[in-house]
């Protein structure tokens, strides 16, 4: 039965996509029929269908195929309206409620994401790379006259952006229990927006978002390229700033570097305080490990880490804090299962895969060298201003690989390629992405180089 298969595919997606994405995009899909190799889903809006098809279509299709279901294609359509009366009734509810009586702010159900109990200021370890971000977050949490609006936090994955945002929310709730703090991911924001379009309840949407005292939107880079969501975000943002309400935003890049974000939004985001979380250094990692090890020790009494194990981890795992935490958790679990002291040898053995993965750090220099080699060019050609295709194309390939294999920012990559502008890098990345789809030679070159560099 295809419906059973759909159930299994859903379960798998739930596991791989995570709760947020699953409940936003997969759960609302309704499988309607399967006929001549096409599986049809009912979706709330065309936009929704488009989005799901583009972002999750392949995975859904693969799920069906893996289960042995004969299908060539998925189709996402908005079902024809059932009865005009039903639609009208639905649309009429919020409108008449709003005109009869404006709901008091406290009655409005805020659609935020839950806050993680562990993500408090107490649990946040401060070091050089994050001290500015931490200080700014503290200041915002203390409230008082709004000083930085918005506070814009940015930095790579796992550096503590979400942690700091939750900490602000907890602290404000402690200090001002009446304040309405709304924390949500940009994806949630967009989902709410799409829902309100679907139920023709834009009024309710606007009212809800404009009624908060503090709005926090996490991972705002997500709405880049999504025009109508951006538009609505912009209006919400302005309305709140006009009322002197605090806004906190996070992203994985600086506002100016978020490709596909409207200029007016970029400039608004830059109006407040923009602070970045730098990659961790050894001291900070060690501090975090010590703090987390204390917490773990409460769960696993009797587990002993030998001297030097934390130092070893701080030294060897420098990618992101989430990985570091994962490694520590695994060590504690392992030690409590086998009842052995965790020595350096045990740690090395138990974490072999994580250690290997974090060893494999590719540098831009290596990329430039390998690409030059592959295309028989001189190193100086890669960095020179020459624009002949025979040089420019390999250079673009190298820029593309630098973007996908390293965590360097676009301006940094530009600088390393003979002081080029970040827009040149953006252009190169796009160009190679396009070419990979239509030019087999390029696709092969890129794949080969990537494998060599990652090996
Ligand atoms: P981001 O949102 O920047 O990707 P998170 O805030 O989700 O990163 O952090 C990833 C994990 O690392 C979380 O479990 C968080 O508690 C932890 N973490 C990051 N930075 C710190 C820090 N300075 N002190 C304590 N824990 C941290
Ligand atoms: Mg985050």
Q: Among 158, 320, 323, which is best to mutate for testing ligand 1, by the most ligand atoms less than 8 A from CB?
A: 158
Cα–Cα nearest to 244, from 202, 219, 210? 210
* Residue entry with tokens 């990329």: 367
Q: What is the pLDDT of residue 34?
A: 84
Q: Into which CATH architecture does domain 128-276 fall?
A: 3-Layer(aba) Sandwich (3.40)
Close Cβ partners of 84 (under 8 Å, ≥ 6 residues apart): none
- Which ligand has the minimum distance to the alpha carbon of residue 329? 1
Q: Which residues surround ligand 2, an ion (CB under 5 A)?
A: 161-162
Rounded Cα–Cα distance for residues 288 and 324 (Å): 9
Half-sphere exposure of residue 153, counting CA atoms within 13 Å on the CB side?
A: 31
Residues in the chain: 455
3-state helix, strand, coil in the chain (%, to 5): 60, 10, 30
Q: What is the pLDDT of residue 87?
A: 33
* Residue entry with tokens 């679907």: 198
2-91 CATH:
3.30.300.180
Q: Which atom of ligand 1 is nearest to the CA of 161?
A: 3
- Which H helix or E strand runs over 366? helix 364-374
- Which ligand has the minimum distance to the alpha carbon of residue 322? 1
Topology of domain 364-454, CATH:
Chromosomal Replication Initiator Protein Dnaa; Chain: A; (1.10.1750)
pTM of the model: 0.62
Domain ranges of the chain: 2-91, 128-276, 282-358, 364-454
| CA-proximal residue: ligand 1, atom 10 (nearest) | 158
Half-sphere exposure of residue 319, counting CA atoms within 13 Å on the CB side?
A: 18
Q: Which atom of ligand 1 is nearest to the CA of 160?
A: 6
Burial of residue 5 (CB within 10 Å: 0-12, 13-18, 19+) is buried
To the nearest 10°, report the CA torsion of 408, 58, 162, 262.
70
282-358 CATH:
1.10.8.60
Q: What is the pLDDT of residue 101?
A: 38
Q: Among 129, 162, 163, 218, which is best to mutate for testing ligand 1, by the most ligand atoms less than 8 A from CB?
A: 163
- Which ligand has the minimum distance to the alpha carbon of residue 164? 1
What are φ and ψ of residue 35, in 5° steps? -150, 135
115-153 burial: b if 16+ Cβ within 10 Å, else e = beeebbbebbbbbebbebbbebbbebbeeeebebbbbbb
Q: Which atom of ligand 1 is nearest to the CA of 126?
A: 23
What spacing in Å lies between the alpha carbon of 70 and ligand 1's midpoint?
A: 44
| CA-proximal residue: ligand 1, atom 11 (nearest) | 322
- Which ligand has the minimum distance to the alpha carbon of residue 285? 1
Rounded Cα–Cα distance for residues 212 and 247 (Å): 10
Q: Which atom of ligand 1 is nearest to the CA of 287?
A: 24
Q: Which atom of ligand 1 is nearest to the CA of 123?
A: 25
Rounded Cα–Cα distance for residues 372 and 361 (Å): 19
- Which H helix or E strand runs over 274? strand 273-276
Peptide bond into 150 cis (omega under 30): yes
- Which H helix or E strand runs over 59? helix 46-66
What spacing in Å lies between the alpha carbon of 163 and ligand 1's midpoint?
A: 5
| CA-proximal residue: ligand 1, atom 25 (nearest) | 124
- Which ligand has the minimum distance to the alpha carbon of residue 321? 1
Count other Cβ atoms within 10 Å, centred on residue 191. 22
- Which ligand has the minimum distance to the alpha carbon of residue 20? 2
Rounded Cα–Cα distance for residues 180 and 212 (Å): 5
| CA-proximal residue: ligand 1, atom 6 (nearest) | 160
What are φ and ψ of residue 215, in 5° steps? -115, 130
What spacing in Å lies between the alpha carbon of 422 and ligand 2's midpoint?
A: 25
Q: Which atom of ligand 1 is nearest to the CA of 124?
A: 24
Q: Which atom of ligand 1 is nearest to the CA of 219?
A: 2
Q: Which atom of ligand 1 is nearest to the CA of 118?
A: 16
Residues 209 and 182: beta-carbon distance below 8 Å: yes
| DSSP string computed for 28-55 | T-EEEEEETTEEEEE-S-HHHHHHHHHH
Close Cβ partners of 183 (under 8 Å, ≥ 6 residues apart): 112, 113, 115, 165, 166, 169, 216, 218
Helix axes 440-454, 364-374, angle to 10 degrees: 130
Residues in the chain where the model's pLDDT stays below 50: 82-108
* Residue entry with tokens 């009797």: 302
What spacing in Å lies between the alpha carbon of 401 and ligand 1's midpoint?
A: 27
Q: Which residues' Cβ are closer than 6 Å to ligand 1?
A: 119, 123-125, 130, 155, 157-163, 288, 321-322, 325
What are φ and ψ of residue 150, in 5° steps? -80, 165
What spacing in Å lies between the alpha carbon of 266 and ligand 1's midpoint?
A: 25
Q: Among 127, 137, 160, 328, which is best to mutate for testing ligand 1, by the most ligand atoms less than 8 A from CB?
A: 160
Count other Cβ atoms within 10 Å, centred on residue 266. 14
What spacing in Å lies between the alpha carbon of 168 and ligand 2's midpoint?
A: 14
- Which H helix or E strand runs over 167? helix 161-175
Q: What is the pLDDT of residue 435?
A: 94
Q: Which two tokens stand for residue 40?
A: 């049809």
Helix axes 131-142, 161-175, angle to 10 degrees: 20
């Amino acid at each position: 039965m295809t419906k059973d298969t759909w159930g299994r595919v859903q379960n798998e997606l739930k596991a791989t996509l995570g709760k947020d994405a699953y409940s936003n995009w997969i759960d609302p899909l309704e499988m309607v029929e399967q006929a001549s190799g096409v599986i049809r889903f009912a979706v709330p809006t065309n936009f929704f269908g488009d989005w799901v098809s583009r972002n999750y279509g392949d995975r859904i299709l693969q799920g069906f195929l893996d289960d042995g279901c004969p299908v060539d294609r998925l189709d996402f359509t908005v079902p024809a309206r059932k009865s005009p009366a039903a639609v009208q009734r639905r649309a009429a509810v919020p409108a008449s409620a709003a005109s009869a009586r404006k709901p008091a702010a406290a009655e409005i159900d805020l659609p935020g994401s839950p806050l993680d109990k562990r993500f408090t200021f107490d649990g946040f370890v401060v070091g050089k790379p994050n001290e500015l971000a931490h200080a700014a977050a503290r200041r915002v949490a203390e409230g008082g006259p709004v000083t930085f609006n918005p506070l814009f936090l940015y930095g790579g994955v796992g550096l503590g952006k979400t942690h700091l945002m939750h900490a602000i929310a907890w602290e404000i709730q402690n200090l001002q229990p009446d304040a309405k703090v709304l924390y949500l991911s940009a994806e949630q924001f967009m989902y709410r927006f799409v829902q309100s379009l679907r139920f023709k309840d834009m009024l309710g949407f606007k009212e809800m978002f404009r009624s908060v005292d503090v709005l926090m939107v996490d991972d705002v880079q997500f709405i880049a390229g999504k025009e109508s969501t951006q538009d609505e975000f912009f209006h919400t943002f302005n309305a709140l700033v006009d009322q002197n309400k605090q806004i906190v935003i996070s992203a994985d890049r600086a506002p100016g570097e978020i490709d596909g974000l409207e200029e007016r939004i970029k400039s608004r985001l830059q109006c407040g305080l923009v602070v970045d979380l730098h990659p961790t250094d050894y001291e900070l990692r060690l501090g975090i490990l010590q703090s987390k090890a204390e917490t773990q020790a409460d769960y696993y009494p009797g587990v002993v880490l030998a001297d030097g194990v934390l130092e070893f981890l701080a030294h060897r795992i420098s990618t992101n804090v989430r990985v570091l935490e994962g490694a520590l958790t695994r060590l504690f679990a392992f030690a409590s299962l086998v009842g052995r002291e965790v020595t350096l040898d045990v740690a090395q053995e138990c974490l072999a895969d994580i250690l290997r993965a974090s060893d494999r750090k590719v540098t831009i220099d290596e990329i430039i060298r390998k690409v030059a080699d592959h295309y028989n060019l001189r190193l100086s050609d890669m960095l020179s201003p020459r624009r002949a295709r025979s040089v420019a194309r390999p250079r673009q390939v190298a820029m593309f690989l630098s973007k996908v294999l390293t965590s360097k920012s676009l301006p940094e990559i530009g600088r390393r390629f003979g002081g080029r502008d970040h827009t040149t890098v953006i252009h190169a990345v796009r160009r190679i992405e396009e070419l990979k789809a239509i030019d087999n030679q390029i696709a092969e070159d890129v794949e080969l180089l990537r494998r060599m560099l990652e090996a």
